[in-house]
Amino acid sequence: MTVVVGYTPSSQGMAALRSAVRSAKRDKTDLVVAYYEFCEAPDGLAAPSEEDVQTALAEADAEGVDVVLRRRSLPDIGEFLLTVVEDVSATLLVIGLRRKSPIGKLNLGAAARRVVLGAPCPVLAVKDDDRAAGAGRHAVA
């Protein structure tokens, strides 16, 4: 049994990571952190380093959880997450979503929609963490 989490260094990514760590601890499963580039306007695309991901895992209290890191290898984020899910036979995929206005809630982002509709396992979509909402970069996990 394996939990996969889509991670970017954003409030949405941290909320997803915290939730995935809790699920992995509760169910005594492995955790795969699938991390990838994100858009940091006006700088364009940026990607977290493995060290950045390890720091986030420590912040999310992942001690005691077996963690595997997978860096994005496909150009499409949704396809990358689905490939990781299939490669490890995941039992749960956790993604983060940014908060939206009431009208915006009618439309998921393209990557999130692809993942929710295409995943062969349950998908847990979590909202960004209120404590970090103003401090994080904006990206959809």
pLDDT tens, N- to C-terminus, the chain (141 residues) = 899 999 988 888 999 999 999 999 999 999 999 998 766 556 666 678 899 999 999 999 999 999 999 998 777 889 999 999 999 999 999 999 876 655 444 456 778 888 999 999 999 999 886 554 444 443 444
Q: What global pTM score does this model have? A: 0.82
Name the residue type at position 11.
Answer: S
CATH number of 2-127: 3.40.50.620
Domain ranges of the chain: 2-127
The DSSP secondary-structure symbol of 10 reads B
Distance (Å, whole) CA 79 – CA 21: 23
Identity of the residue numbered 76: D
